[in-house]
Chain A
Amino acid sequence: MSFSLVWMPDVLLSAGLKVALTDAWEMRGHGDVGTIRGVLCHHTAGPRTGNMPSLNTLVKGRPGLNGPLCQLGLGRDGTFYVVAAGMAFHAGPGSWQGVTTGNTNFIGIEAENTGLENDQPWPDVQMDAYRRGVAALLGHLGLPATACAGHKEFALPHGRKIDPTFDMPAFRAGVAAILGGTAPQPVLIPKSEPTAPGKTPRATLRRGATGALVSTLQQLVGAKVDGSFGAITEACVRTAQREKGLVPDGIVGPKTWQVLDARSTPGA
């Protein structure tokens, strides 16, 4: 048996977004959700380091409040972490467009951000994924962009919550543009490097890949060389990407290859 929101990963994937599933997400929830009437945007107010440090808390909850605390987590690299297909405790008392039962009727998205000065502005890749993700969910449900609210707009009494820190009307305008088809198509990472004379284009690698090219990569990022792209290699890639100001998604595409090459030959 699984809860109602099992359609979320497919919808997000077809919007060109990165999606990662937590264990047993289909069965997770405080019972099932009701009819979905919108999407509520949050930020986690979690730690500053890492891609999605709050994921454990979102799944398991915290002292005094059992998880799941949202349906979707959004990492700093724009990856959606699917936490639960059932009801989550994310909304609390509040009201948006007449809906007061937020946990029952809203999908909650918790984006990783401290909510403090040390984490502003939000990464472009995360904001872009936030807008596209919300638009994809609303599009699937046949709801307009106005069905998306910030937790700070929903929560009552007003001022009880400050999340998310970004401007919600501008965010909704962006969502409306995607829903209306006037926004540009999502930019996907190419499958391999562009063909250049005298060089074999290297394939884009991500977790799960194996082979000689992975071993090369592991040497470049200083991970244990075993030819298998696992969680530790991915974490090393993310660290390297952060150092160079790339999107720290652990996916080794053309840009990351280029940067890793430059790093390995400092004299060149």
Chain B
Amino acid sequence: MKLESLDLAIGMIVVFLLVSTLCSALREAIEALLKTRAAYLEKAIRQMLDDKDGDKLTKSLFEHPLLSGLMTESYLPKPAKKALWFLANGRGLPSYVPASSFAKALLDMAAHGDDGTQGSGGAMTVESLRARLNDPNCPMSPRVRRALLHALDTASGDLAQARKNVEDWFNDSMDRVSGWYKRSTQWIVFVIAVAVTLIGNVDSIAIAKHFYQDEAARNAAVQSAQTLVAKPDAPTKEEAQEVLEALELPVGWSAASVPQGGEWFNRVLGWLLTAFAATLGAPFWFDVLNKVMVIRSTVKPREKSPDEFSEDRQRPPAPVVNVPAPTAAPAPSAAAPNSGGANLAAVIAVAQDQLDCCGGEQGEPATDEQLPAAKGGVQS
């Protein structure tokens, strides 16, 4: 029974992994169309440059020769919008701006004016920059001037250090962009997950029942899990689709699958469960699947004959995975399927310490040509 409930859990994790992979793929497609990240980056630069409408310093910055190459079309500032922020449109804007280009361009604009025609013709120094920024006629807003002056003040007269300070300021801001983007992704993936769940009628409760009743379905799911974790990376969209179809789950709409009366409650609950699970993301479920497969391999009786790789060794060959002695650890089999999060982590930790290598089947041997290059060992 223990292994059965573990396999049921594995089946559910596989389904969640595959659904969330599909949702992530859809999210990426939306991002490819909208370029939300680029829009956030532009918004962050507007905030840094104290330029709410993007038509002053931001415009000059994006048109600066050091940055204009990153743009696919010329910069047209759009009025700041609040609505549907998580679907902000950033087409034509760069989705990445190197911190060094930003710092160089901004300092250049401070020294030589927005279009490079002002200021002394001489090379930029910390002093000339300071003089320009302290000049009451400087076109930059007081907030930007203060930020730049602070970068100069903490550079102890070194122009390279001043540029580095500006880069740090920019990078801090970019961390915020990542935060915005992450939150927007969570919302969008949830909306996508709800849509996918409804359109596909992916009801977690019904699927769990299916795995519970049907041993063949459970075994098929565990087998898919084994192929999935055999690869180092989470599955691609195509792989996910393939595996989902092969599993023959009770999903999709037909006349018989329309819920009747009291079934609605369970059905909606099942949908919501699927949607929330998919929102956690494919990397999360891939990680969980890997860990649970480790537990399974420690509790599962060995399937292969232990002698198949034996040469004339001085001892019986090590089993592929050592089944822990009952006294060595709390039996993971009893605790694994039903325990809560902390308990599960402890079981995983115990299980992980039961695994070892040395001997056993080896993969494809690495030839000398495939080895990475070495350093050290020679006099310098």
Contacts and interface: CB of A to CB of B under 8 A. Distances in A.
A5 B264 CA distance: 53
Given A62-B362, A104-B349, A162-B314, A89 B355 contact: yes
A123 interface: no
Contacts of B205: none
A162 B317 CA distance: 10
Contact of B377 (A56, A65, A69, A189): A189
A116 B317 CA distance: 13
Contacts of A30: 294, 352
B322 A92 contact: yes
B356 A56 contact: no
Interface in A188-247: 188-191, 204, 206-208, 231-232, 234-235, 238-239
B365 A44 contact: no
Interface in B316-331: 318, 320-322, 324-325, 328-329
Contacts of B375: 13, 18-20
A42 B372 contact: no
A87 interface: yes
A166 to B, nearest CB: 14
Interface stretch (A46-54, A140-148, A170-178, A255-263): A46-54
**What is the predominant secondary structure among interface residues of chain B facing chain A?**
loop
Contacts of B324: 93
A107 interface: no
Interface residues of B, number: 47
Nearest to A28: B232
A160 B356 CA distance: 11
A239 B355 CA distance: 36
Contacts of A235: 367-369
A267 interface: no
Interface size range of chain A in the complex: 35 or more
B171 to A, nearest CB: 16
Contacts of B328: 93, 156
Contact of B371 (A43, A47, A52, A100): A52
A162 B369 CA distance: 30
A53 B366 contact: yes
B290 A66 contact: yes
- Name the residue among B294, B328, B355, B361 with the largest chain A CB count within 10 angstroms: B355
B377 A92 contact: no
A153 interface: no
A81 B372 contact: yes
B363 A101 contact: no
Given A90-B357, A91-B353, A16 B376 contact: yes
Contacts of B357: 42, 58, 62, 65, 69-70, 89-90, 108, 110
A72 to B, nearest CB: 13
Contacts of A20: 371-375
A21 B372 CA distance: 6
B225 to A, nearest CB: 13
Given A92-B322, A93-B325, A110-B357, A18 B376 contact: yes
Contacts of A232: 369
A189 B229 CA distance: 44
A157 interface: yes
A102 B374 contact: no
B378 A160 contact: no
Contact of B321 (A21, A57, A65, A190): A65
Contacts of B77: none
B325 A66 contact: no
Contacts of B369: 231-232, 234-235
B377 A207 contact: no
B380 interface: yes
Contacts of A159: 315
B372 A22 contact: yes
B364 interface: yes
A139 interface: no
A172 B360 CA distance: 27
A32 to B, nearest CB: 12
Contact of B358 (A63, A104, A161): A161
A60 B232 contact: yes
Contact of B353 (A21, A50, A102, A253): A102
B311 interface: yes
Contacts of B356: 89-93, 102-103, 151, 155, 161
B368 A238 contact: yes
Contacts of A179: none
Nearest to B365: A53
B359 interface: yes
Given A89-B355, A101-B353, A64 B315 contact: no
A84 interface: no
Contacts of A149: none
A50 B355 contact: no
B78 interface: no
A242 to B, nearest CB: 10
Interface in A1-54: 12-13, 16-23, 30-31, 42-47, 49-54
Nearest to B297: A64
Interface of A: 12-13, 16-23, 30-31, 42-47, 49-58, 60-66, 69-70, 75, 78-79, 81, 87, 89-93, 100-104, 108, 110, 115-116, 151, 155-157, 159-163, 188-191, 204, 206-208, 231-232, 234-235, 238-239, 249-251, 253
28 contacts: A18-B377, A22-B372, A42-B357, A47-B365, A53-B366, A54-B366, A55-B366, A60-B232, A61-B363, A63-B361, A65-B357, A91-B356, A93-B329, A104-B349, A108-B357, A115-B313, A161-B318, A161-B356, A189-B378, A190-B378, A190-B379, A191-B378, A204-B378, A206-B373, A231-B369, A234-B373, A235-B367, A253-B378
Interface of B: 229, 232, 290, 294, 297, 311, 313-315, 318, 320-322, 324-325, 328-329, 349, 352-380
